[in-house]
Amino acid sequence: MEAKRHEVVVIGAGVSGIYQIKRLTDLGIDAIVLEGDDDLGGTWYRNRYPGARFDSESYTYGYSFSKELLDEWHWNERFSAQPENLRYLNYVADKFDLRRHMRFDARVQTMTWSDTEHEWTIHLQGGEIYVATFVVTSLGPLSMPTLPRYEGIDDFAGHSFHTYHWPEEPLDLSDKRVGVIGTGATGIQVIAELADKVGELKVFQRRPNWSSPLNNGPISADEMAAIRDRYDEIFANCSASPGGFEHVPDRRGFWNLTPEQRIETWDRLYEQPGFAISAANFPAIFLDETANQEMSDYIANRIRDRVDDPQIAEKLIPRDHGFATQRLPLETRYFEAYNRDNVHLVSLADAPIERITETGIQTAAEHHDLDVIVYATGFDAITGGYDRIDIHGVGGQTLADAWRNGPSTYLGALANGFPNMFMVAGPQSVSGSTNFPRAIETGVDWLTDLLIHARNQGATRVEARAEAEQRWVAEVVRAHEKLLLRGSKGWFTGYNSNVAGHQEGTIRYQAYFGGVPKYVSIINQEAADGYPSIDLR
Ligand code: NAP
């Protein structure tokens, strides 16, 4: 089969891929997006489960690159739901006529680098071949859903699916017995939304998660007009904050205030929208165990206030990690769901799942008869999308081997041994740990500038220097070690009981926790200095 040639192949048509192709085609660069799914939208195309919505303020999540787009688009809710988010991404793609640069049902299977030709050969499932000088991987950090490895999972005779694969056709669950396994950000959204829409809901919880209110609400035309007037300020605020949000950390100092003043602060934050409860909190809660414990006790009391049955409330309070030391899920009446007669908490800490049966879930204590099982069991996060592709770099080495014990990158953007592979929101970038689109715009712009720089130099091979990569990994580890999250089990630190090698005790340094301003200053300095850490040939 004859290979199709492009200067750049972008893999993935999600939030990152859409912006990347916009930048490349604006510059007149011959580029194409290969998307494995049958349409664009990535995470917002796939995650159709009830309750799926932003937990970043909608107007900080949208793209900032086009004033016209900002003026045209009206966000209906402060935290917009999946259907609107997908409509938005389609609107962007159509407005800028980007679909004509996208190929769907184009699942990349292998990528092989030629160090003589300075090009990647890309094989798709089905046999098609593409050749490109540069490959931009915009694979998404949460695009590889993982199912538990329970015996009997294929025996279940009812309907079962991962939340990522929630059926597109409407599903009437009104008289169904539904089991949800998993209480991460996804489980917490779907459980709260399903509670009053299903016959019976059983929540299979292995470890409880801290969670606090999203405080969503509609955005009126007047409010949207005020937001439009403020867009420059909004994006500037996001760039200046560690998490890429408008929320500003409380710098008064945890220990400078009395316990009563701290409670007053938290009472206020608990009522505020989105990640205010963590991003506008005292930095000490992320760094100091005593401060974190006080905060955790505060949130535990909030859970006790909201859950009628004290025994259930205690089971919903995490004991193995402190508040916001894992990725914090935000909720809408999640805890109140457990006050309903048709909702039951099944604590797997008391009796673990033994197997899935034809008719339900068998735990060590009893059998639960179910019509539907929803797996809200998470993702092979950040590196999963890379592992799915068989990537061969210099000398035939595979990326899977190079990253077996965790990724190693320069700035989360390049990897030594894998020239001309440009990663948007890659492992060890700041994207995974912050407001995603804000960081991806920065990442796409930086990589596009690097590509232009290489072209201007006549370079056809762009590779991070090994020593620069080692320096960056050390910086990633340093930033990680400072935070209390270093001791927690969650996808931020690469934990996933369903993926071989990602278990407890094997920390994978997958995300950079130094915050947006520091990350952006580092990558901008690299560019301003003429890319000293990158070998251009
Ligand atoms: P997750 O945070 O990794 O949570 C997975 C859940 O499944 C955990 O409760 C986990 O329990 C449980 N689980 C996994 N394997 C299990 C097994 N074999 N048996 C029993 N329980 C099992 O995944 P997620 O909830 O899909 O969220 C992932 C990320 O997606 C979020 O952190 C967030 O960044 C993103 N997200 C964003 C939004 C949004 O609002 N924008 C919404 C949803 C998700 P353990 O804790 O015991 O491992």
Q: Whose CA is nearest to atom 33 of ligand 1?
A: 185
CA-proximal residue: ligand 1, atom 18 (nearest): 148
Answer yes or no: is pLDDT of 432 > 80. Answer: no
Question: Is residue 448's pLDDT more than 90?
Answer: yes
Average pLDDT over residues 28-52: 98
Q: Is 384 in the pocket of ligand 1 (CB under 6 A)?
A: no
pLDDT at 152: 98
C-alpha span between 70 and 72 (Å, rounded): 6
The pLDDT of residue 487 is above 90: no
Strand partners, 110: 123, 390
**What was the pLDDT predicted at 131?**
98
- Ligand 1 contact, 346 CB (< 6 A): no
Task: State the average pLDDT over residues 1-23.
Answer: 97
Report whether 52 contacts 81 (CB < 8 A).
yes
Q: How far is the CA of 514 from the centre of ligand 1 (A)?
A: 23
pLDDT digits 0-9 by tens, 346-379: 999 999 999 999 999 999 999 999 999 999 999 9
Report the run of H or E that residue 112 belongs to, with start and end. strand 108-114
Top pLDDT among 502 and 112 is at 112
Give the CA count within 13 Å in the CB-facing half-sphere of 21: 28
Specify the DSSP class assigned to residue 396. G
Q: How far is CA 494 from CA 182, 400, 484, 498, in A?
A: 17, 15, 15, 11
Atom of ligand 1 nearest to the CA of 187: 25
HSE-CB of 7 using CA atoms within 13 angstroms: 15
**pLDDT above 90 (res 493):** no
The pLDDT of residue 503 is: 80
If you measure from the C-alpha of residue 196 to the centroid of ligand 1, how many angstroms do you get, rounded to a whole number?
Answer: 22
pLDDT class for 276, splitting at 50, 70, 90? Answer: very high
Determine which residue's CA is closest to atom 14 belonging to ligand 1.
Answer: 377
What are the helix and strand counts (H, E) for the chain? 19, 20
187 lines ligand 1 (CB under 6 A): yes
CA–CA separation, 292 and 54 (whole Å): 26
Q: In one letter, which amino acid is 116?
A: T
Enter the pTM of the model: 0.97
Quote the pLDDT of residue 506: 79
Residue 505 has pLDDT above 90, yes or no: no
Q: Residue range 83-103: average pLDDT?
A: 98
Whole-number Å distance, alpha carbon 183 to ligand 1 midpoint, is 6
Cα–Cα distances (Å) from 471 to 409, 468, 533, in that order, read: 10, 5, 10
Q: Is the pLDDT of residue 501 over 90?
A: no
- CA of 379 from ligand 1 middle (Å) equals 7
Higher pLDDT, 494 or 372: 372
pLDDT at 492 over 80: yes
Q: Is the pLDDT of residue 519 over 80?
A: yes
**Across the chain, what does the average pLDDT equal?**
97
**pLDDT band at 504, cuts 50/70/90?**
confident
Question: For residue 452, which of 24, 102, 119, 121 has the smallest C-alpha distance?
Answer: 24
Regarding the beta carbon of 186 and ligand 1, being less than 6 Å apart is answered yes
145 lines ligand 1 (CB under 6 A): no
Task: State the alpha helices, DSSP H only, in 8-95.
Answer: 15-26, 43-46, 58-61, 67-72, 82-95
Q: Give, for ligand 1, the residue of 86, 206, 373, 382 to mutate: max count of ligand atoms closer than 8 Å to Cβ.
A: 206
Using the predicted structure, report yes or no on whether residue 232 has a pLDDT greater than 90: yes
Distance 200 CA to ligand 1 centre (A): 22
Please write the tens of the pLDDT for every residue from 395-412: 999 999 999 999 999 999
Contact between 57 and 195 under an 8 Å Cβ cutoff? The reply is no
For residue 312, pLDDT beyond 90? yes
Contact 108, 396 (CB under 8 A): no
Closest C-alpha to ligand 1, atom 2: 184
- Give the per-residue pLDDT at 507: 86
What mean pLDDT is predicted for residues 415-423? 98
Mean pLDDT of 28-54: 98
Q: Which pairing describes strands 4-11 and 108-114: parallel, antiparallel, or unpaired?
A: unpaired
For 164-216, how does the pLDDT look when each residue is reduced to its tens digit (9 = 90+)?
999 999 899 999 999 999 999 999 999 999 999 999 999 999 999 999 999 99
Residue 517 has pLDDT above 90, yes or no: yes
Closest atom of ligand 1 relative to the 142 alpha carbon: 30
Least confident piece of the model among 407-416, 423-432, 449-458: 423-432
